[in-house]
Amino acid sequence: MNRTLIRDALTNLRPPAEATVAGWVRTVRHSKGGFSFITLNDGSCLATLQVVADGKLPNYAEEIAHLTTGSSVVARGALVASQGKGQAVELQASEVRVLGRADADSYPIQPKHHTLEFLRTQAHLRPRTNTFGAVARVRNAVCAAIHEFFQRRGFLYIHTPIITASDCEGAGQLFRVTTLDVSAPPRGPDGAVDFAQDFFARSTYLTVSGQLEAETCACALGNVYTFGPTFRAENSNTPRHLAEFWMVEPEMAFCDLAGDADTAEAFLKHVFRAVLDRCAEDMKFFNDRIDNTVLDTLAHIADSEFQRVTYSEAVTLLEKAGRQWEFPMHWGRDLQTEHERFLTEETFRKPTIITDYPASIKPFYMRVNEPDAQGRRTVAAMDVLVPKIGEIIGGSQREERLDVLEARMAETHMKAEDYRWYADLRRYGTVPHAGFGLGLERCVQFVTGMANIRDVIPYPRTPRSAEY
């Protein structure tokens, strides 16, 4: 079918005089004078196109006069200046074909306000709503801008494995991948499940991060990025955590922590600017309906410099803040969301990059710094915090010294032989290198103002929830 997207029918300066459009009925009004006004949406934009169907059309009495919300139709006719309010163009149909009816009584997405909680129970139909259509288009624009940023800078897009034998974050929040019969797994002499008999002849998991493999590519190809699904079996029912989420992870050879932070800042600004430029209609919708600060916030961030502060400085600020924290802050503890939000929303009022965290709360691969004046040991880590979300990016300079890396692995009781390939990078032509990870959904949440991460991915996976 040679159809015109409704986006093009509405916005082209000179749309084709005669066009075929296809979509789903949002609302329909059957007038007594023998006309029907059908508003159609095809997902190409937020707006709908009004189709005017004349009672003289051959299938009018039988089909068109009974059309209801949710039905799918193809309409052909002339695109003309509209007499009605609220739209510039309408389609005067010479033909309206009904492809699929929707039963008006049972169709869940009626033209009225539905709560986001209700729509989560209709995950298969919610893309037909304004909110989820707008989320899908902005998410698409964010992904395109991510690729654009790295491609323009000569980064290679690489694909790291989804099934892996290593636990990159060392946090043990892994989903096991197995083909063993869970009701009767083979057991070794000690009674433990014998994973040597499993599909890969070892324990395997869904990846929590593509970083370690990305490092191997960066240490040959220079600048690379991986962008794919990651899985964390963390039992945290928060509005910012999913069990399955998408992460973009650049990795740069010959780069230190400062270069890493500069890249992260330029990267976020590029993505935010692209969304403002390319998703004006959808972003106005989010600003009007979801969060009336998103447009100002994004424009402000795209033009302002991010704050940089060390972890130790941040702790001092938090201790002096005179607040009753739910989690009181001392040097050595990890920052909680309440602390992150305080720093970025109240102290600095802009995105904030915190660097040089205590080694004891960060993974083995982060580069160990010289001890500070008080003799405390930190690593070259950085987190980028933004208002309302807290951490949106986590990154670090990687440990490139073999002896230091091996000592850190021993400290954290990791099996050196499992990471021989990772240590090899330090054995053969080691180089300083750095990278970070941006959670795609956190980014889409921030851009759109959507409060719950479950509403920025089509099919959210969270504890006890994988319906559909």
User: Cα 298–304–309 angle (5° rounding)?
Assistant: 110
In the sheet with 433-439, reading across from the earlier edge strand, the strands are 156-158, 223-231, 244-253, 433-439, 390-397, 378-386, 352-358, 307-310
Please state, in angstroms and rounded to a whole number, the distance separating the CA atoms of residues 345 and 349: 5
Q: Which of 139, 270, 442, 454 binds ligand ATP (CB under 6 A)?
A: 442
- State the DSSP code for 187: B
441 binds ligand ATP per the rule CB under 6 A: yes
The least distance separating ligand ATP from the CB of residue 391, rounded to whole angstroms, comes to 5
Subset of residues 166 to 185 that bind ligand ATP, contact rule: CB under 6 A: 169
> By CB under 6 A, is residue 311 in contact with ligand ATP?
no
Instruction: Give yes or no for a contact between 288 and 302, defined as CB atoms under 8 angstroms apart.
Output: no
User: Which residue type sits at 334?
Assistant: D
User: Taking a C-beta distance cutoff of 8 angstroms, is the pair 396, 260 a contact?
Assistant: yes
Contact residue for ligand ATP among 198, 391, 399, 455 (CB under 6 A) = 391
Beta strands in 57-125 (DSSP E): 72-81, 89-100
The least distance separating ligand ATP from the CB of residue 137, rounded to whole angstroms, comes to: 21
Q: Does 215 bind ligand ATP (CB under 6 A)?
A: no
User: Looking at 146-154, 194-202, 261-269, 437-445, which segment touches ligand ATP (CB under 6 A)?
Assistant: 437-445
Query: Rule CB under 6 A: is residue 275 a binding residue for ligand ATP?
Result: no
Q: Closest CB to ligand ATP among 168 and 255?
A: 168
Coil, strand or helix: which one is 454? helix
Least Å from the CB of residue 303 to ligand ATP: 23
Residue placing its CB nearer to ligand ATP in the complex, 241 or 398: 241
Q: How far, in Å, are 50, 328, 335, 352 from residue 324 at the CA level?
A: 55, 8, 15, 22
Nearest distance, CB of residue 337 and ligand ATP, angstroms: 7
Give the interface size with ligand ATP as a residue count (CB under 6 A). 16
Site for ligand ATP in 62-91 (CB under 6 A): none
**Shortest CB 120 distance to ligand ATP, Å:** 16
Phi and psi (nearest 5°) for 79? -90, 120
Q: Which is nearer to ligand ATP, 75 or 354 (CB)?
A: 354
The minimum distance between CB 455 and ligand ATP, in angstroms, equals 13
What does the alpha-carbon distance between residue 314 and residue 222 come to, in Å, rounded to a whole number?
A: 33
Site string for ligand ATP, 223-252 (x = CB under 6 A): ---------x-x------xx--x-x-----
- Widest CA span in the chain: 87
- What does the DSSP assignment read for 114-125? --HHHHHTTTTT
State which residue, 109 or 456, has the beta carbon closest to ligand ATP.
456
Tallying the residues shown for the chain, one arrives at 468
Asked whether position 437 contacts ligand ATP by CB under 6 A, the answer is: yes
Integer Cα distance of 135 and 206 in angstroms: 27
Q: By C-beta, is 16 or 463 nearer to ligand ATP? A: 463
Residue with tokens 């949710």: 70
Encoded amino acid at 240, one letter: R
Q: Give the H or E element holding residue 249.
A: strand 244-253
Cβ closest to ligand ATP, residue 210 vs residue 439: 439
Residue nearest ligand ATP, CB atom distance? 394
Q: Pick from 177, 298, 393, 425: which binds ligand ATP (CB under 6 A)? A: 393
**Least distance from C-beta 368 to ligand ATP, angstroms?**
18
Does residue 439 belong to the site contacting ligand ATP (CB under 6 A)? yes
Residue 6 near residue 41 (C-beta atoms within 8 A): yes
- To the nearest 10°, report the CA torsion of 17, 21, 25, 26: -60
Among 394, 432, 435, 460, binds ligand ATP (CB under 6 A): 394
Burial class (CB in 10 A: 0-12, 13-18, 19+), 120: middle
Q: Least CB distance from residue 462 to ligand ATP, whole Å?
A: 9
Q: How far is the CB of 210 from ligand ATP (least distance, A)?
A: 11
Q: If you compute the radius of gyration of the chain from its CA atoms, what whole number of angstroms results?
A: 27
The only residue of 261, 392, 405, 450 in contact with ligand ATP, by rule CB under 6 A:
392
Q: Which chain residues interact with ligand ATP by CB under 6 A?
A: 169, 232, 234, 241-242, 245, 247, 391-394, 437-439, 441-442
